[in-house]
Copies of this chain bind each other. A is one copy, B any other.
Amino acid sequence: MSANKLVAPEGHSDAPARETARRARTRERLLDAAYRQFSEHGINGASIEAIADDAGFTRGAFYSNFSSKEELFFELTERENRARLETLREHFAHLVAPLGESGGKPAPAHIEGIIADVMSFQPDIRQWCLVQSEFRLLALRDPEVAPRFLAAAHSFQRELATMIDTAVRAVGVRFRIDTLDLTRLLIDQFDSAMQETILAGDDDPDRSVREKVMRTLPLLVHSLTTTLDGD
C-alpha cells in the first residue's frame, strides 16, 4: 500500500503534473486504441480489455492511467475536438489567404464553394462521425454528460460561424438569417450527408460527402444570401 498519490510529492511547487514521458506515450496509445474500438463497437460494446489489447497493453496499463471507461472516453473526445478545431483553423487560414492577396473581391457566387471547402476538410470522417454519434447519444440519455457535449458542439459552431462570417464579409454578401443559425443549418446538412454516405457503404466517403453537400448547399446558400448593396 504505497502512499504515492496521497501526499503531494512536491515541496513548494503547486504544479500537480508528475508525468513521465513514458506515461504520456502510453496514454496516447490508449487513446488511439480507444478511438478505434469506440468507433467500431461503441462505448458499451468496447471492453476495457479490448482497448488495452488494441493499444498493445493489458488492463493494468489502463487502470494505471484512467479510472473508468467514461473518463477515457471524455479525454478522447476532448483531444479530438481540439484537433478538429485546430485543423479547421489551419484550413481556413489557407483559404482566406488568397482572398486578401488578389486585391479584388471574388465573385459572390463562389461563396458556396468556400463554405463547402471550409466544412469538407474533415479527415477520417467515418470514425469521427461514429464517435460523435456515440457522444451525442450518451448526452441525450444522461443529463450529466449533456453539458459536455453541448460545450463541444457550441464551441465548434461558434468557431465555424465566425469563419463563415468573415468569409462572407470578404466576399461582400450577407445572410438573411443569423449567421449562427445558418451555421447550425449547414452543420446539420453536413452531418446528414456524412451519415448517409456511411449508411450507403460508400468507399471514399470524403469525396462522396462533398458531392452530396454540393448538391443542395449552393441553392440553399444562394436563397439565403443577399448582396450588401440591397436585394
How far does the Cβ of A95 sit from chain B's closest Cβ, in whole Å? 26
Is there an interface contact between A189 and B185, defined as CB atoms closer than 8 Å?
Answer: yes
Report how many copies the assembly holds: 2
Instruction: Tell me which residues across on chain B come within 8 A of A149, comparing CB atoms.
Output: 199
Q: Please measure, in the bound complex, the distance between the C-alpha atom of A139 and the C-alpha atom of B185, giving whole angstroms.
A: 24
Instruction: Give the CA-CA distance A139 to B134 in the complex, in Å.
Output: 12
Given contacts A146-B200, A185-B220, A188-B189, 15 further A-B contacts (CB under 8 A): A42-B141, A44-B44, A133-B140, A136-B195, A137-B137, A140-B199, A146-B199, A146-B201, A149-B199, A150-B200, A176-B219, A184-B192, A185-B189, A188-B188, A223-B223
Asked if A129 lies at the interface with its beta carbon under 8 angstroms from chain B, I say yes
Interface centre among A130, A149, A150, A223 (most CB of B within 10 A): A223
Query: Which residues of A line the B interface, CB within 8 A?
Result: 40-42, 44-45, 129-130, 133-134, 136-137, 139-141, 143, 146, 149-150, 176-177, 181, 184-185, 188-189, 192, 195, 198-201, 215-216, 219-220, 223-224
Closest beta carbon of chain B to A127's beta carbon, Å: 11
